Amino acid sequence: MKSKSRPDAFFRQIGSLQQLVRLFDLMPDVSFFMKDREARFVALNRLGCEFCHVKSEREALGKSDRDFFPAERAEEYLADDRAVMESGLPKLNRIELAPEREGSPHLVITNKIPLRDANGRVIGLAGFSRRIEHLRTAPAKMRKLAASVARMHDEFAAPLTTAQLAQQAGLSISQFERNFRKAFGTSPHQYLVGIRVEYACRLLIETDDTVTAVAQRCGFYDHAHFARAFATVMGTSPSGYRRDHQQPAL
């Protein structure tokens, strides 16, 4: 009888992850990076090197965003890195300014995930950014969406409606929902709920606020609504998440 293939056994045979990193060099519109627990680069593909204005990956290894980008922008990137590594949660489909010279009009969509060792400890992160002009959605439409998405991140605790966001983008509700789903693979409402849950995770870990207080701070109208949304996104209850992730008091 032929034995089944075991992915974990196969991956252990791979000599170096650099083989996989080099795959991203074949994707000219994607900037791929990996960072250690101190947010220092440990891997960078070709476009990542271009963003950092270095000729080769070697010139960037061991350095951080502060070594390459304008101070304010670098601090924004590093704050996201810390949030991913401290919470153990990914940051998905974040629209932000491209890591280029100050005043650059280009936007990117960035995704970051935590990297864990064999014991489940977060040891760093991996991520990639794509220039918006290379996405399926046309740049003009994406720019209309970008302002609304930025508002969702800035005002996630407010009672934002799809109608308000569509109006800001200068689109009808149906146009806005259709373009948003095409760009991000989810509805505006689901995206907003994801932002709220992401922030709630941080509050559950970093504060002693009651679950009800966390719900209110994150824009959920009651405890039951918060619990349902949280469980849908995270697969556990807010109390269970806090119990599993909050560091015990010394």
Task: Let me know if residue 5 belongs to a domain.
Answer: no
pLDDT for the residue 82: 92
Shared domain for 37 and 101, answered yes or no, is: yes
Which mean pLDDT values do the consecutive 10-residue runs of the chain (250 residues) have? 62 75 81 94 90 90 89 82 90 74 62 90 92 56 75 87 90 89 80 86 87 92 89 87 70
Cβ contacts of 112 within 8 Å, gap of 6 or more? 80, 81, 84, 90, 91, 94, 125, 126, 127
Shared domain for 25 and 71, answered yes or no, is: yes
Q: Over the stretch 96-110, which tens digit does the pLDDT of each residue have?
A: 767 765 545 466 788
The 8 Å CB, 24+ separation contacts for 156-162 are: 156/192, 156/195, 156/196, 156/199, 156/218, 156/219, 157/196, 157/217, 157/218, 157/219, 158/219, 159/219, 160/192, 162/188, 162/189
Count of domains forming the chain: 3
pLDDT for the residue 44: 92
Task: Let me know if residue 64 belongs to a domain.
Answer: yes
Give the C-alpha distances (Å, rounded to integers) separating 203 from 16, 154, 211, 216.
Answer: 38, 16, 9, 11
Shared domain for 101 and 215, answered yes or no, is: no
Please state whether the predicted TM-score (pTM) of the whole model is above 0.75. no
Range of the domain at 59: 10-134
Shared domain for 66 and 95, answered yes or no, is: yes
Whether residue 139 contacts residue 95, with contact meaning beta carbons closer than 8 Å, is answered with: no
pLDDT for the residue 222: 85
Can you give the CATH number for the domain in which 212 is found?
1.10.10.60
Strand partners, 96: 108
Shared domain for 97 and 54, answered yes or no, is: yes
Q: Over the stretch 43-67, which tens digit does the pLDDT of each residue have?
A: 999 889 988 889 889 999 999 999 9
pLDDT for the residue 9: 77
Give the C-alpha distances (Å, rounded to integers) separating 200 from 155, 160, 216, 231.
Answer: 14, 17, 10, 12
Name residue 175's amino acid.
Q
Can you give the CATH number for the domain in which 58 is found?
3.30.450.20
